[in-house]
Structure 1
Amino acid sequence: MCKIGTLDFEVCGGCVLNEKQNYILRKPCSSLHRPKCDESTIRSFIERLVKVYHKPIITIRFSDPFRDVFAIELIRLLNNGPLRNVKYDICHSSPESYRTVFNEAATLDTLEIKLKRLLSFQSSPSVSLRLDHLQIRGSCHWIKLEDFMNCKSVTLNHFIKFDFKKIETERLNSFFKKLKESECRIEKFTYTVNSPVKMDRSIFSKIVEGLNDIHGSDSVEFIRRDQKKTRISWTEETLLMEPVY
């Protein structure tokens, strides 16, 4: 039996074994609806690898033009076992697929997911997520930040086509106040916004209002209920919460 530490599957189609002994799946596809790649072959190939290798740690990345339903099938196949990290970047995903990815993520170490803008989509994971790292890119307006307070590190790359001050300032302030009064696992929170309006001191002051005294208008420190000391700082495009040691 061959022993290997990590298998990296990049599911966007073929298979090559690179110099680092990482398997990469690649096959050209003509379109989303008529791919040339054979899904049953890929499934059989992955099943075989899991049997051959000794306790593999699998990172799998899904990107267009893979079908969202097939991605979900593979996640369920590998979950509760070798699958530790998922990168999900399929634009043509249904709301149900997004919900399933979050629910299946409960047993993972990391999840990176890109979301398209779904105006009427609202959802919360049905299970508590305790990821080491969660990264969400794209549309983040539907997310309840409190759902991810037990993930150790959370990164949101939020693309907003409107003035985020009207919505996000109040939402972030509410989140930080709840975090301060909670005993939760989160240590680092990075919020990057792509918006016509940049962060400034007045916006930052409203976001951290009620947490503690602002030090130099560039950061604020406070002690959480679990006695963890935390700092929030800002730049024009990024809000960063991190522990103070």
Structure 2
Amino acid sequence: MASIFQFKEFAVDQSDCAMKINTDGVLLAALVQVDSSSRILDIGTGTGVIALMLAQRYVKSEVVAVEIDPAAAKRAASNFRNSIFGDRMVMHACSFQHLDDTKPYDFIISNPPFYTDSLHNPDARKKLARHTNLEFFNELLQFSARSLCVKGCLALIVPTLLADELKAIAEKLDLRLEREILIRSFEEDVVIRKIVIYQKGYFGDVVVSDFIIYQEKGIYSDMYKAALQPYFLAF
């Protein structure tokens, strides 16, 4: 049975995708801003929602996506073809480690698997989508350092403790933290996620901002509505 999520300018069929559209992914796509984005890579695209959101915003960009789960890759490719951005979107059914594309990217983005210390999910495909270890992130950062053009950016959404670990790894690869967005469910809550944006060769100050999802239980904050307004029918 089809599971369609309708956005303002495109639709996402989530059938056959182990990981459905989630808050982390749409916030990452909505909140990142990059100056130069003629060529974008979405790593672990899943349903393809992040790639589609970026294709909507960056109207002159080529958006490339990779997905290791064959069923999800097939579904994302279909979502791309069915969108009005399809002629600017490319799908590769493989891991980023096996991506046969040496042309540099201006911007790499990923909502990665990050449950490094939790119990593994018994569902094999959800385990693949949600669980990983630091070796994965080492490879992701090394790949990004090789594949980004000069002043290119890498954006990730990860838990707070993992963000701190990744910063040290990234700096050794000349990927410097440019911006952090601290995400909380409610204003008084602890930070549950960080969006981190690294720039190749960056040496300026780190810009830190806060983002609150809910004004109160069941009611989204004004900043959440503003961020998703270009995409969600509800706003």
With normalisation by structure 2, the TM-score equals 0.34
Q: Per chain length, whose mean CA-contact separation is higher, i.e. which structure has more relative contact order (CA < 8 Å, sep 6+)?
A: 2
- Larger helix percent: 2
Considering only CA atoms, is the larger Rg found in Structure 1 or Structure 2?
Answer: 1
With normalisation by structure 1, the TM-score equals 0.33
